[in-house]
Chains A and B, each alone.
Chain A
Amino acid sequence: RKEVEQDPGPFNVPEGATVAFNCTYSNSASQSFFWYRQDCRKEPKLLMSVYSSGNEDGRFTAQLNRASQYISLLIRDSKLSDSATYLCVVNPWGSNYKLTFGKGTLLTVNP
């Protein structure tokens, strides 16, 4: 079983749609959880950290369920500029050390 598994995608949605990404992780000792965004041929960039209580940043909402070892990312009112690969990332050490990445889910938002 992979350490971090994500929806394989790709997702193609129209502008304004709501899209949800799901992710599960196998290491129950994981302490930190993140969503990264990677544009084509660019570096991964931190989109948001994920907290147990859930957190929101504008149109983006992240949820964590430790019991189920499940993480989600919801994007509301999607924009063309949201088109990218979304990477689910976990870390057992509570820091940015030794991040474990999922394969990523490609999102294309269409006009």
Chain B
Amino acid sequence: EAGVTQFPSHSVIEKGQTVTLRCDPISGHDNLYWYRRVMGKEIKFLLHFVKESKQDESGMPNNRFLAERTGGTYSTLKVQPAELEDSGVYFCASSQGAGKAFFGQGTRLTVV
């Protein structure tokens, strides 16, 4: 069975540009989460989808971040315009109900 897949694995963009990260959860997992690790800090929750609905987006840093999950399958996280402090590793995770969450390998975003 395929795990959580994220694309791209790495992205280097200039400040002010737009980047879109994609996450494909494990098939059948209704819950999808985005997390972020900024260098030197702990992994932090960004938001949670149940199917296509945002259940909690309290961790989103600001309105430059937009997450979508149209159709309740894959999700995208767009950063527009990117700032230097957005650099970090963005992890996606999925779970079925209250079960174990499986993480993707992450997208390493570098804003220069």
Q: Mark A residues whose CB is within 8 Å of B.
A: 2, 4, 42-46, 87, 94-104
The verdict on B91 contacting chain A, using a C-beta distance below 8 Å, is yes
Output the least CB separation between A94 and chain B (Å): 7
Contacting pair B98 A101 (CB below 8 A): no
Chain A's nearest CB lies how many Å from the CB of B60? 13
**Sample (24) of A-B pairs whose CB atoms are under 8 Å apart:** A4-B42, A42-B105, A43-B4, A43-B105, A43-B106, A44-B43, A94-B98, A95-B97, A95-B98, A96-B31, A96-B93, A96-B99, A97-B31, A97-B48, A97-B55, A97-B56, A97-B98, A98-B45, A98-B48, A98-B56, A98-B59, A99-B33, A101-B42, A104-B42
Q: How far is the CA of A98 from the CA of B34 in the complex (A)?
A: 9
Contact count A vs B, C-beta below 8 Å? 53
A101, B103: Cβ atoms closer than 8 Å = no
Task: Report the separation of the CA atoms of residues A46 and B106 in the bound assembly, to the nearest whole angstrom.
Answer: 16
B45 near A100: Cβ-Cβ < 8 Å: yes
| Least CB separation from B4: chain A residue | A43
Interface residues in chain B, defined as those with a beta carbon under 8 Å from any beta carbon in chain A: 4, 31, 33, 35, 41-45, 48, 55-56, 59, 91, 93, 95, 97-101, 103-106
Q: Other than the known A96-B98, A97-B98, A101-B43, what 13 A-B pairs have Cβ atoms closer than 8 Å?
A: A2-B42, A43-B91, A43-B106, A44-B43, A44-B91, A95-B98, A96-B93, A97-B31, A98-B48, A99-B43, A99-B101, A100-B45, A103-B41
Main secondary structure of the interface of A (DSSP, over half): loop
Bound CA–CA A71/B100 (angstroms): 19
Closest-by-CB residue of B relative to A46 is: B100
The minimal Cβ–Cβ distance linking B53 to chain A, given in whole angstroms, is 14
Chain B residues within 8 Å of A101, by CB = 35, 42-44
Q: In whole angstroms, what is the CA distance A100 to B46 when docked?
A: 11
**CB <8 Å contact, A44 and B31:** no
Kindly state the separation between the CA atoms of A104 and B101 in the bound complex, as whole angstroms: 18
- When the two chains form their complex, are residues B44 and A43 in contact, meaning their CB atoms are under 8 A apart? no
